[in-house]
Amino acid sequence: MRLNPKTSQKIMRIVLGIATGLTIFILLFIIVFMLSKGIPVLNWEFLSNFPAKMGKAGGILPTIIGTFVLTLVAIVIATPLGVGAAVYLTEYIREGKITKIIRFGAESLAGIPSIIFGLFGFILFVVTLKMGWSILSGGLTLAFMILPTIIRTSEEAIKTVPYSYREVSFSLGATKWETIKKVVLPNALPGIVTGIILGIGRSVGETAAVIFTAGSSLRLPSSLFDSVRTMSVHFYILSREGISMKNACGTAAVLVIFILAMNLTAYWIMHKFTKRNL
């Protein structure tokens, strides 16, 4: 039987609409479920106390600090590399073989599973370079992981800076690097910051690459060579080993709230930024 084209259009529209509704429902379900289970656990003590009995009781303070320092190390290493690469790709070289190779490298790196990063960080930093399970090993591994994100967003940000800005700067006698430093980068800053925020989000949520490089110590770190446990790793250990579902949900709520806030900030900056340039 052949359907009337108009009828089939109506049917498809409904089917596609249901699929879209389902996707949005799943997204909302995940967020609402995690927050409704976790938020009742949250209070100041939970955030500011040390865990007791492996996390069965007490708070999550060291995991918050662990997440923070690990992410900081990753961002400090990945940002100059990512922005530098983006500047080179957009300002110094025409599209060609070299840009193709570099982009392929960045895109492939983005597709490498986090467990491979974990294996790699473990064998290079923890074992070969003898850094042990530490903030430095974990931070370096995460820096490798978020580099592609920072390259891609910085590149897009730099491309939106109008060419006329550069021409004005050149006509005033500025060199290429002066133009980049004083004109291009400041104007691309919101986009670059968006990339950094997305990188922070990815670092904070990562588990597989972190657990084998930064370890899972619940003590407060006193140097870059100490092991830390991030919130994601803590959440994983608590829920998988059945130590405390209540505290696991609390940790996850902090994690989800933080990641939502990061993403919203990123979109907000991006939105303001693109509007300004129109």
Range 128-187, binding another protein (CB under 8 A): 128, 144, 147-148, 151, 175-177
* Binding residue for another protein, selected from 66, 201, 221, 250, defined by CB under 8 A: 201
- The C-alpha atoms of residue 144 and residue 7 are separated, in whole angstroms, by 52
In the complex, what is the shortest distance from the CB of residue 27 to another protein, in angstroms, rounded to a whole number? Answer: 5
In the complex, what is the shortest distance from the CB of residue 214 to another protein, in angstroms, rounded to a whole number? Answer: 14
Written as one string, the DSSP assignment of 107-147 is: HHHHHS-HHHHHHHHIIIIIIIT---SSHHHHHHHHHHHHH
Tokens representing 151 are 């390259």
* Binding residue for another protein, selected from 107, 167, 186, 220, defined by CB under 8 A: 107
Contact code string over 232-251 relative to another protein, x by CB under 8 A: x--xx--xx----x--x---
Q: Is 101 in the site for another protein (CB under 8 A)?
A: yes
* Binding residue for another protein, selected from 41, 183, 252, 254, defined by CB under 8 A: 252
- The C-alpha atoms of residue 146 and residue 198 are separated, in whole angstroms, by 9
Q: For 236, which DSSP code?
A: H
* Binding residue for another protein, selected from 57, 115, 129, 172, defined by CB under 8 A: 115
* Type of residue at 52: A
* Binding residue for another protein, selected from 94, 95, 97, 111, defined by CB under 8 A: 111
- The C-alpha atoms of residue 65 and residue 211 are separated, in whole angstroms, by 16
Number of residues that bind another protein (CB under 8 A): 82
Residues forming beta bridges with residue 57, ordered by sequence position = 52
In the complex, what is the shortest distance from the CB of residue 219 to another protein, in angstroms, rounded to a whole number? Answer: 19
Q: For residue 185, which of 99, 103, 82 has the smallest C-alpha distance?
A: 82
CB 189 within 8 Å of CB 68: no
Range 48-77, binding another protein (CB under 8 A): none
* Binding residue for another protein, selected from 65, 81, 189, 269, defined by CB under 8 A: 81
Tokens representing 191 are 């986009």
Contact code string over 20-49 relative to another protein, x by CB under 8 A: x-xxx-xx--xx-xx---------------
